[in-house]
Structure 1
Amino acid sequence: MDVRGCAVQAWVFVGPEFFQNKNSNFFETSTCFPDSNVKMKTRYWIKNMFIRKLTNGESLERKWLLYSPAKKSVYFYCCGLFNTTTGIGYNLSSPNGYKDWKHISNLLIEHENSLQHREFMMNYVTRMKTTGRIY
């Protein structure tokens, strides 16, 4: 196994929970921008984004969603592990992550429904089975 393969296997074994940083100070992510009324609006990452609300009222935890306090950005765990091309994943697997808080809700849903994300999630589940982890 090459170095990248070993690193991916180690990250799969550790799991995403370690990297989520759910108890960080999200106010540090605040950005200001003008809204349509020429007033300044502030947006920032919120802890609720780690939960996806389904149309039937059910809630699902986004276990694979990571927040980096150092970069003040979010990343998709599986897409970062298995994406080997650029331009896929809406920069959620790039070194800079994603921090457009104005559009984050739509982006998360769009990305979760993308073919690439589903493929990377299946890769992750398959790898977890080989390590004996339960998702």
Structure 2
Amino acid sequence: MRIEQDPALWPPKITDYMRQDYLKKGLDYFQNNDGKFEASIRKYQKQNRSLSVKLFESRQSNGESYVRKWLMYSQSNGSVYCFVYKLFCSEENNVFTTGFSDWKRAQGKVKSHENSVEHRKHLLTWKTYSKCSKIDVEVTKLLNKEIDYWKNVFRRIVEVVKFIAERGLAFRGEHEIFGSPHNGNYLGILELISKFDPFLRQHLENFGQKGKCSVSYLSKTICDELIGCMGTKIYNKIITEIKEAKYYSIIVDSTPDLSDVD
């Protein structure tokens, strides 16, 4: 079977056998990112825009940059495609399956796609296939590095939440601003640990003041979700012990609010 280098010329339905052939060719074969993007020119009112080679580069959350090897350019229609979406995604109408060419919003759209749950899921699927194929492993290494990074962040966050919850301390302060003495125990303890933990210090510098749409594991939303998960686990443990015990007693220690309701 002939393997088309141009992603726009790939067949609409790709079988498992065909998928293996594409994977064996490797990501570099399909990128077509040598800077010759004449077919990508699109007219926006009185201005022409085209694909920039910079779109093939991305900066990681840890500050490192790498080539977006999953991004492919079609020399026939001037659009870009996602390698893993073309091979594994069932959404036939997805723009990175059918071809993307809105260069006015290219950086934001590609970044959003790259960070999406579906894209990461298909990268993991590609990783599974790669075990049986001789293909470029650079993307796999970068993905594993990204996973390890967020695992390390998550471990620190979980320990801080456990520490505060075990002692019955308040989590929040007047606001959520790093560097303020009024940002509560949750953010305050993270700041304290970061003084002796270079990894956490770098994470706070990179994500401490990011907006609401940025994933950082530092927000009150994540904190509340962790508290809820821990509470559910403790509740289920207590229920299990009650069911297993022949006799048991319950001691309640509560604090009433202003309306005298516990």
Do they superpose with TM above 0.5?
Answer: yes
Identify which of 24, 28, 37 aligns with 1:17.
28
Partner of 1:99: 101
Partner of 1:121: 123
Deviation at 1:41, TM superposition (A): 2.0
Partner of 1:83: 89
Partner of 1:46: 52
Q: Deviations over 1:70-124 (max 9, x none)?
A: 111000000110012334xx41112xx1111111111111001111100110011
Partner of 2:74: 68
Structure 2 residue matching 1:103: 3-state secondary structure: helix
Structure 1 residue matching 2:15: 3-state secondary structure: helix
Which residues of structure 2 form unaligned runs of 5+?
1-13, 138-262
More helix by share: 2
Identify which of 3, 19, 26 aligns with 1:8.
19
CA contact (8 A) 2:58 2:67 kept: yes
Please, what is the CA RMSD of the aligned residues? Answer: 1.7
User: How far, CA to CA, are the matches of 2:132 and 2:61 in structure 1?
Assistant: 33
Equivalent pairs: percent with the same residue? Answer: 28
Q: Which amino acid is the alignment partner of residue 116 of structure 1?
A: E
* Greater RCO structure (CA 8 Å; 6+ sep): 1
Which residues of structure 1 form unaligned runs of 5+?
35-39
User: How far, CA to CA, are the matches of 1:117 and 1:71 in structure 2?
Assistant: 23
CA contact (8 A) 1:24 1:69 kept: no
User: How far, CA to CA, are the matches of 2:63 and 2:132 in structure 1?
Assistant: 34
User: How far, CA to CA, are the matches of 1:27 and 1:131 in structure 2?
Assistant: 33
Deviation at 1:58, TM superposition (A): 2.2
Number of equivalent positions: 124
Q: Deviations over 1:30-73 (max 9, x none)?
A: 22213xxxxx2221001111101245542111011100101110
TM-score by length of 1: 0.83
Deviation at 1:28, TM superposition (A): 3.3
Change (3 A) 1:133 1:56: closer
Q: Which amino acid is the alignment partner of residue 106 of structure 1?
A: G
More strand by share: 1
Choose 1 or 2 for highest CA Rg: 2
User: How far, CA to CA, are the matches of 1:72 and 1:78 in structure 2?
Assistant: 19
Q: Which amino acid is the alignment partner of residue 85 of structure 1?
A: E
Moved over 3 A (4+): 54-57
